[in-house]
Structure 1
Amino acid sequence: MTFAGLTVAYWAVLVAALLPIGCAGLAKWGMFAVPRREGGYDNHHPRAWLARQSDWRARANAAQANSFEALPLFMGAVIIAHQLGAHQTRLDLLAFLFVTLRLVYILLYVADQATARSAVWSLALAVNIAILFA
């Protein structure tokens, strides 16, 4: 199945590439209107500001880093599966499942559900490996 010339799996790569940006936005949520001197977001030193955050903001920033870390394997797996002629419907479903699991992972990370988060991370890794060998 294709849309605008891209398979669902390739669209999933785009969505996965945007997930870290969403996590960064979540970490900064509601702090743009707060003055810097009162702890609001500091666009002059964004990494230092994020490093000082705690609780859910810090976890959203950690989810951002992990989302970047998961991206290369997913992108590579989808490209390799396409090149090797994987069954398209299977590949599309697995890629969609990967992105869904990563979204759940981010939500669990921000909600501080460590055990469930780790289980979902493991499932997403397994799906990614399944894509590679699809």
Structure 2
Amino acid sequence: MPIAFWCILIALFLPYLGTGLAKFAGRDFGPRQNRDPRSFLEGLAGYRRRAHNFQLNSFEVTPAFAIAVMVAYVVGNAEPTTIDRLAMAWIISRLIYMICYLADLAMLRSLVWFIGMALIASFFVVSA
């Protein structure tokens, strides 16, 4: 199986890294989190709130990444190694994005987000 497909699997689980940091990193760990998790997460502040925001953004962008990888393989014009490298670069960009989010580096986070979107577009470009 191509590395890019494994990257899709990784991308599907990345949001839960944010979930874990948001829900389980504080002192208010307990049943309240699962009784009404949306209200709990909306009430967070600081890096835990930003971890939750990373989670939400990841759920928004991951389908675009997965579709871009699949399109690149279906069209078949790009070298598989190029697709794999783009996919790994996207995963790395998401990890850097998460770090920037947690550290409250808003400008750098936005730059990394644009790089991630450019990488998604790159799958289409290399396949054309």
- TM-score when normalising by structure 1: 0.88
Please state how far the C-alpha of 1:34 moved relative to its aligned partner. 3.9
Letter in 2 for 1:51: E
Structure with greater helix share of residues = 2
Deviations 1:83-127 (A, max 9, x none): 011210000000000000011001100110000000000001001
1:12 is matched with which residue: 7, 10, 22? 7
List runs of 5+ in structure 1 lacking aligned partners: 1-5
Distance 1:65 1:123 in 2: 18
State how far apart, in whole Å, the 1-side matches of 2:115 and 2:3 are.
Answer: 20
Worse-superposed segment, 23-32 or 91-100: 23-32
Structure 1 residue identity aligned to 2:47 = W
Cα distance in structure 2, aligned partners of 1:116 and 1:82: 31
CA RMSD of aligned residues (A): 1.5
* 2:35 aligned counterpart, secondary structure: coil
SS at match of 1:126: helix
Identity %: 36
Distance 1:103 1:35 in 2: 27
Partner of 2:59: 68
Cα displacement (A) at 1:58 = 0.5
Instruction: Sort the Cα spacing of 1:35 and 1:71 in 2 relative to 1 into closer, same or farther, 3 A.
Output: closer
Mapped to 2, the partners of 1:22 and 1:111 lie a distance apart of: 15
**Separation (CA, whole Å) in 2 of partners of 1:45 and 1:32:** 17
Distance (Å, rounded) in 2 between the aligned partners of 1:34 and 1:121: 30
- The equivalences for 1:1-134 within 5 A come to 6-31=1-26, 34-35=29-30, 41-85=32-76, 86-134=78-126
Are the equivalent residues in 1 in contact too, given 2:25–2:48 (CA < 8 A)? Answer: no
Deviations 1:63-88 (A, max 9, x none): 00000111111011000000011210
The answer to whether the 8 A contact 2:23-2:33 is kept is: no
1:133 positional shift: 2.3
Listed one character per residue, the Cα deviations across residues 18-64 of structure 1 (whole Å, up to 9, x for unaligned) are 1111110111123477456xxxx521001100000001010000000
